């Protein structure tokens, strides 16, 4: 499935539809998190049992898609992440040093507050079981980049199992990446999410992110899709 933010990539949409790829076009930019909400709703509507999110920035190899999806499909894990850290090639693949340091520092902070032992929380390669997407209050999450991190915090809070697969990565000039300012905003959002998790867990603060009755994805009927090709 291909999702286009705001219809500005007309050529991409044309090619996708020529290839017979179901395509959804947002009339207005819905943001990174908003895109995922739309994609997950559409995937569930089509009956998907396993949904894989892969950043379209050419940094991650699609060759591991079957490995991630299989671990979910056979019931080994509820969620599987492709980890750039496990393969120990992130820096060799061109990850900027400041991003690597920030990744390791934020991951350590999150593991401490969320009680997990993940190698990283910031990968753009993730596989989810249908039951996970249906259970999480994803509509409570941000429409910005911190959506990913909020989702993992929810997965941990509601007790779903998380596995990791070693994933090589590469960075180069043509690969898209958020800039330094957006990275700082994202990092601050990660800290807030982790603190919200711990305070909610300790019953010191209530967060809608971890409310079992929070707003979930709305799965529209087959004839309600906004625009398909």
pLDDT score of 29: 85
pLDDT score of 134: 96
pLDDT tier at 2 (50, 70, 90 boundaries)? low
* Rounded mean pLDDT, 77-90: 89
pLDDT score of 147: 97
State how far the Cα of 118 lies from the Cα of 127, in Å rounded to an integer: 15
State how far the Cα of 113 lies from the Cα of 100, in Å rounded to an integer: 20
pLDDT digits (tens, 9 = 90+) for 108-122: 999 999 999 999 999
Number of residues written out for the chain: 229
* Rounded mean pLDDT, 56-63: 86
Specify the residue for token string 């998190």.
33
Within the chain, all domains assigned CATH 3.90.550.10 are found at 49-216
Report the candidate in 64, 183, 190 with the shortest Cα–Cα distance to residue 127.
Answer: 64
Q: CATH second-level architecture of 49-216?
A: Alpha-Beta Complex (3.90)
* Mean pLDDT score across all residues of the chain: 88
Report the candidate in 159, 156, 161, 154 with the shortest Cα–Cα distance to residue 207.
Answer: 154
List Cα–Cα distances, 32 to 5, 98, 164, 205, in angstroms: 9, 22, 23, 27
pLDDT tier at 9 (50, 70, 90 boundaries)? low
Report the candidate in 50, 46, 109, 106 with the shortest Cα–Cα distance to residue 80.
Answer: 50
pLDDT digits (tens, 9 = 90+) for 151-184: 999 999 999 999 999 998 887 666 666 778 888 9
């Amino acid at each position: 499935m291909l999702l286009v933010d705001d219809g500005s990539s007309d050529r991409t949409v044309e090619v996708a539809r020529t290839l017979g790829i179901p395509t959804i076009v947002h009339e207005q930019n819905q943001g990174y998190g908003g895109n995922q909400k739309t994609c997950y709703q559409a995937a569930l509507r089509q009956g998907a049992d396993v949904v894989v999110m892969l950043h379209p920035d050419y940094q991650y190899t699609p060759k591991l898609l079957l490995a991630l999806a299989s671990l979910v499909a056979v019931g080994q894990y509820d969620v599987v992440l492709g980890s750039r850290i496990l393969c120990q090639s992130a820096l060799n693949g061109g990850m900027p040093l400041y991003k690597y340091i920030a990744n390791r520092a934020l991951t350590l902070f999150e593991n401490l507050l969320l009680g997990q032992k993940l190698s990283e929380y910031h990968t753009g390669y993730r596989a989810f079981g249908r039951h996970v997407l249906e259970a999480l209050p994803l509509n409570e999450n941000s429409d910005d980049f911190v959506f990913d991190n909020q989702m993992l915090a929810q997965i941990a809070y509601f007790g779903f199992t998380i596995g990791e697969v070693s994933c090589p990565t590469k960075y180069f000039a043509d690969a898209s990446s958020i800039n330094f300012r957006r990275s700082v905003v994202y990092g601050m959002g990660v800290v807030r999410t982790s603190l919200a998790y711990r305070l909610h867990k300790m019953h010191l603060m209530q967060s809608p992110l971890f409310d079992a009755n929070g707003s979930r994805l709305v799965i529209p009927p087959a004839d309600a899709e906004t625009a398909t090709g």
